[in-house]
Chains A and B, each alone.
Chain A
Amino acid sequence: MEKVTTSKHTHKHNNKLATKWLFTKNRSCSCTMPGVWRAVSFCDGCAVIFHSPLGCAHVAMLMDLGAQYRIIGDHQNENLDAVPLIASNLQEKDTIFGGVEKLRGCINHVMKTWQPKCLIIATSCVAGVIGDDVEQEAEDAEAEYHIPVLCVPYGGFLGGEYSDGYFQTVRLIMDRFIQPQPKVPNRVLLFGDQMGPCGQYAREVKRLLSYFDLEVKWQFPGYVPFEEWSELSTASLLIPLNYAGQTQGGLEKTAASWAEQFGTPSIRDVYPVGWHNTCAWLRKIAEFVKDEVKGEAVIRQEEERLKGYVKSILPVTQNKKAVLGIGRGPRWYNPAETLNTIQRMQMNLSAVILYDKLMDEERDAVIAAVEDWKKAAQFPDIPLITNGDYTDCLEQADVLLTTDELPGNPVKQFFIPMVPLAGTDGELIVMRTIYRLLCRYGNKGGIAYA
């Protein structure tokens, strides 16, 4: 092994490409509390308490702030105000005597300062370790203040992931506040987050639904005022904002529960991410409104947009050498969509490379997905490099489409988005970003984000 000395530290270099982050997601990689927060963060009338040290609320606040500025960066005028999020400020001494008194004081403070109509309490790993009976406190608070108090006592990362906190909050709301009732025709309920109503996913779904005179009334859970929760089951169609059926099993499962509990039809087995899936999704919508002819007309119209755009960028993209780099497991990423985009832009895929950070089972699943695509697309000869020997193919590539940044590598890199881009517009955004990257002179920060 070769030792490399940098200005501030020394590390060993093993001649393999280094992705930006050192970690591998081999265990619980997130925390349940921000999921709880996100599930109600723009539901006017609510307040959220983290029974936690202060810093935990800061993490959630930073996530919200980042999302807000990303929306502003997308030229959207976000007009929702987040509900109060308050940390009970668990400290060292509370770990000895218990933090219940602290929580009680915090609830009192929140009721006095914000007068919420519904209170949601999430617990941290510290509260989990010291064993505070937060559910009892929630019950007592409900009796004292005469408002609903929901409790998600998952103990931060101990009780699962972000999505576990998110979906448990959804389940609590569904079970407590929503009843089956008559449906209002053409009223649609979007289900899931994906950056909220101003995010690209929800905007695109609304645009596509408008072809069928379907009107989105709410986006649940995070963006419905508390006072309107009880009306949600009047929607006549539920549309989960999911991604390829892989990333958010919880969303699909919860959407299925919703459909069953409240008798609302939903589009669950296909999602408008990637052009092929968008077509399939549009056909499902057409089937729902019983107008298949309209569905095919919409697909043709949208396809013309795609074709028109591709035609305009082909002088730059055609025959360019592209490499796909994957370090994201199948739970978060389906390579077929990126591979289809490469094909649509008429670039030459010279290799698919897998990064070291993939765990064994992830690696096997990614290899299977890529092999399936190669077979279906009839490109059996594209090399799939898994041994770390990437140097030559990256040196010769015009662009690397990658799930992970390769810091310091001179190849032009396109970062495959974590939050999926939906519909025709999503596909156009991806292609436009890659096109602009290919037009770029020099490096300018290394990586392009869609």
Chain B
Amino acid sequence: MRDNDFKTSCHHMSTCALTGASAFFDAIPGSFMLINGPLWCYFYAMKYVEDYDASALRRFHCTQPEGNALVYGTEKDLLAGLDFVKANFTPERIFILNNCSVSLVGDDIAGIAARAELPCPVYAADCGGIAGDFAEGYEIALLRTIAEVKKNAKDKSDLASPSVNLLGLSPTYFRGEEDIKEIRRILETAGYHINAIPGGGSAWDEIMELPQADLNLVLRDELALKAAKELESEFGTPYLSAGMPYGIQGTLAWLEKINTVLPATNLKTVRQEAETVNARLQFRSSNMQSLWGPLWFDNILIAAPPSEAAGIAEAVRGEWADTGNLVIHFTEDTPLRPKAANKICVTGKDDAAMKETFENWTGGLVIGSSLETSRFVRLKKPFVNCNIVLPSYHEIIATDSPLCGIRGASYLFERIWNAKLNSCMEEVK
């Protein structure tokens, strides 16, 4: 993160590191998260995770330290919190997550936890907002887990090959669980063995086997590139920054990239599936265009983290819709510069330009979150929209359609077409 990212909430911004770390640890079955911080921070992090995982509200608790604890230490509050967990739950492990102000206190968390005499391991991490946003928190949690992997490292065995770990996935993303399933499906169809998906649902024991894989695939650099480098330096496992696969051509290109580094055993099946689906979409598109005209938008705004925004920008312009002006609002800084974009802004860096995007908007397709639609509603600007990231207040997720991969391409194609058609119908009502 750059020093001078004075991010404005008018534009897209991310949750804090506490939430990112909570999301990572929550995705490990059997874990209990004890937030060492005020109720406000606890509730915020827990609620974010609970939106996709209903069990979270029974797997999180908080120590609620008083102001004095920030001077004299949180030992009393932490011991009370651990006692509460001991009395009411039997988790396989407890993660203590210090919020930003508590992390400044410098308590010996491991020592305090030892005094609580818990029947399960306890791991601690400083992951408050001063550590950064969701991505940094997730990264801290992943690296903390890798520290345990190092302690438990075994010699590499003859696992099914070619095998990969998937790094940088989280079910807390918009349709995140569905994306994880789709990526796994495509890779397994291509013949890869999925060794572990830390933070994406893998069990603790599976995560401890991370060094067994042939390759670490980094799906979101902002979440897992540092961890992949750590795994390479510690265990010699190579990594590939693959990004997320969007659109049919995008998914095939993504798979080719992986195949170049670690050859697949069954690419043909995925290619055949892609061809079939692509033919179906082209046919449907052609039929609809004969009735409604081209899928044209005067403007397209894509507002999302780099991994989503860059891939979807290429797919939307390359495979689904036409426009004269595609603008990307990256919610994190990135070196990515997709060719599909006419204008690229980065939150915190190009606030004035982003303000202009909203104020000068004349209508079109908004692919982002409820935050962008909120701005356009308040500015009384015309738009149609399709959510791809959180927060999502005006769209329910009930089906298992992913955004990425081949199934995701069909889903987004359908969503964007329906956005146009609904808009046409609204105009004549």
Residues of A within 8 A of B (CB): 3, 6-12, 14, 18, 20-23, 25-31, 52-62, 64-66, 68-69, 72, 78-82, 84-92, 94-95, 102, 105-106, 109-110, 113, 124-126, 128-130, 156-158, 407
Is there an interface contact between A53 and B370, defined as CB atoms closer than 8 Å? no
CA distance A31 to B300 in the complex (A): 37
Q: Is B14 part of the contact surface with A, judged by Cβ < 8 Å?
A: yes
Q: Is B382 part of the contact surface with A, judged by Cβ < 8 Å?
A: no
Q: Is B129 part of the contact surface with A, judged by Cβ < 8 Å?
A: yes
Is there an interface contact between B30 and A9, defined as CB atoms closer than 8 Å? yes
Q: Which listed segment binds A: B55-63, B109-117, B154-162, B236-244?
A: B55-63
Is there an interface contact between B393 and A66, defined as CB atoms closer than 8 Å? yes
B7 contacts which of A87, A94, A129 (Cβ < 8 Å)? A87
CA distance A68 to B378 in the complex (A): 9
Closest chain B residue to A156, Cβ basis: B101
Q: Is B64 part of the contact surface with A, judged by Cβ < 8 Å?
A: yes
Is there an interface contact between A60 and B39, defined as CB atoms closer than 8 Å? no
Residues of A within 8 A of B380 (CB): 79
CA distance A59 to B39 in the complex (A): 13
Residues of B within 8 A of A54 (CB): 5, 7, 13-14, 16, 129, 132-133
**Chain A proximity of B371: nearest CB distance (Å):** 6
Q: Which listed segment binds A: B83-91, B249-257, B278-286, B407-415?
A: B83-91
Is there an interface contact between A55 and B58, defined as CB atoms closer than 8 Å? no
CA distance A78 to B371 in the complex (A): 15
Is there an interface contact between A85 and B10, defined as CB atoms closer than 8 Å? yes
Is there an interface contact between B370 and A65, defined as CB atoms closer than 8 Å? yes
**Chain B proximity of A63: nearest CB distance (Å):** 10
Residues of B within 8 A of A95 (CB): 104, 130
Is there an interface contact between A69 and B101, defined as CB atoms closer than 8 Å? no
Known A79-B378, A129-B101; 9 more pairs at CB < 8 Å: A9-B59, A21-B57, A22-B60, A26-B64, A54-B132, A56-B129, A58-B133, A84-B8, A102-B3
CA distance A53 to B29 in the complex (A): 30
Is there an interface contact between B13 and A61, defined as CB atoms closer than 8 Å? yes
**Chain A proximity of B139: nearest CB distance (Å):** 14
**Chain A proximity of B171: nearest CB distance (Å):** 12
Residues of B within 8 A of A92 (CB): 130-131
Interface of chain A, main secondary structure: mixed
CA distance A124 to B348 in the complex (A): 20
Residues of B within 8 A of A (CB): 1, 3-10, 13-19, 29-32, 38-40, 42-44, 53-55, 57-62, 64-67, 70, 87-92, 100-101, 104, 128-133, 348, 351-352, 355, 370-371, 374, 377-380, 391, 393-394
Known: A27-B66, A94-B130. A60 touches B88 (CB 8 A): no
Residues of B within 8 A of A106 (CB): 6
Closest chain B residue to A34, Cβ basis: B40
**Chain A proximity of B325: nearest CB distance (Å):** 23
CA distance A31 to B99 in the complex (A): 14
**Chain A proximity of B415: nearest CB distance (Å):** 19
Is there an interface contact between A129 and B70, defined as CB atoms closer than 8 Å? yes
CA distance A53 to B62 in the complex (A): 20
CA distance A20 to B46 in the complex (A): 12
Residues of A within 8 A of B29 (CB): 8-9
Residues of B within 8 A of A85 (CB): 8-10
Residues of B within 8 A of A158 (CB): 67, 70, 101
Closest chain A residue to B47, Cβ basis: A62
A23 contacts which of B44, B62, B67, B379 (Cβ < 8 Å)? B62
**Chain A proximity of B68: nearest CB distance (Å):** 10
Residues of A within 8 A of B1 (CB): 89, 91
Residues of A within 8 A of B18 (CB): 55
CA distance A306 to B42 in the complex (A): 42
A78 contacts which of B5, B31, B44, B378 (Cβ < 8 Å)? B378
Closest chain A residue to B26, Cβ basis: A8
Closest chain B residue to A53, Cβ basis: B129
Residues of A within 8 A of B43 (CB): 23
Is there an interface contact between A81 and B378, defined as CB atoms closer than 8 Å? yes
**Chain A proximity of B234: nearest CB distance (Å):** 24
Closest chain B residue to A69, Cβ basis: B393
Is there an interface contact between B70 and A30, defined as CB atoms closer than 8 Å? no
CA distance A65 to B5 in the complex (A): 22
Is there an interface contact between B55 and A8, defined as CB atoms closer than 8 Å? yes
Listed by A's residue number, 14 A-B pairs whose Cβ atoms lie within 8 Å are: A9-B59, A9-B89, A54-B129, A54-B133, A55-B129, A59-B16, A65-B391, A86-B8, A90-B130, A92-B130, A126-B101, A130-B104, A156-B38, A157-B67
**Chain A proximity of B357: nearest CB distance (Å):** 14
Is there an interface contact between A20 and B57, defined as CB atoms closer than 8 Å? yes
Known: A9-B29, A91-B1, A157-B38. A55 touches B57 (CB 8 A): no
Residues of B within 8 A of A62 (CB): 44, 391
Best-buried of B14, B29, B378 by chain A (most CB within 10 Å) = B378
Residues of A within 8 A of B58 (CB): 9, 11, 18, 22
